[in-house]
């Protein structure tokens, strides 16, 4: 119940295309869903996050779509750029336990020029 399942494991997208990464969870107590971006040799960095009271959150080219009934959320990267090539992790935590983020297994994104 504590798992967050992430897919795909890897993704290749052409420059200008849309990258879509999906995550699913079981624990209905989760109420905070961040996405982290990790470049090689660096630590993960918060990219964007959403709470279940909204179905979508957009920040620049990055959008989280959230489907509470399906217990799924996804990251969309519009107009993907080579600089977006990185590993993306979805995560989830409960309101009273933000400290214990449960991470997905990661998606390695390569945006080809």
Does residue 96 interact with another protein by CB under 8 A? no
Backbone angles phi, psi at 82, to 5 degrees: -55, -30
Alpha-carbon dihedral of residues 54, 57, 63, 68, nearest 10 degrees?
-10
Pairing of strands 56-59, 62-67: antiparallel
By CB under 8 A, name the one of 104, 107, 109, 111 that touches another protein.
104
Does residue 88 interact with another protein by CB under 8 A? no
By CB under 8 A, name the one of 1, 9, 14, 41 that touches another protein.
41
Does residue 14 interact with another protein by CB under 8 A? no
Q: Which is nearer to another protein, 13 or 47 (CB)?
A: 47
Stretch that binds another protein, among 13-21, 40-48, 58-66, 68-76 (CB under 8 A): 40-48
Q: Which of 50, 44, 48, 53 is nearest to 103 (CA)?
A: 44
Which helix (H) or strand (E) segment holds residue 36: the answer is strand 30-38
Q: Which is nearer to another protein, 43 or 60 (CB)?
A: 43
């Amino acid at each position: 119940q504590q798992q967050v399942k992430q897919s795909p494991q890897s993704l290749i997208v052409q420059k200008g295309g849309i990258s879509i990464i999906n995550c699913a969870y079981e624990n209905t107590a989760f109420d905070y869903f961040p996405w982290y971006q990790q470049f090689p040799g660096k630590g993960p960095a918060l990219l964007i996050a959403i709470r279940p009271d909204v179905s979508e959150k957009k920040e620049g080219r990055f959008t989280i779509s959230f489907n509470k009934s399906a217990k799924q959320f996804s990251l969309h990267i519009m107009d993907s750029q080579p600089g977006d090539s990185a590993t993306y992790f979805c995560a989830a935590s409960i309101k009273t336990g933000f400290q214990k983020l449960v991470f997905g297994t990661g998606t390695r994104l390569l945006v080809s020029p």
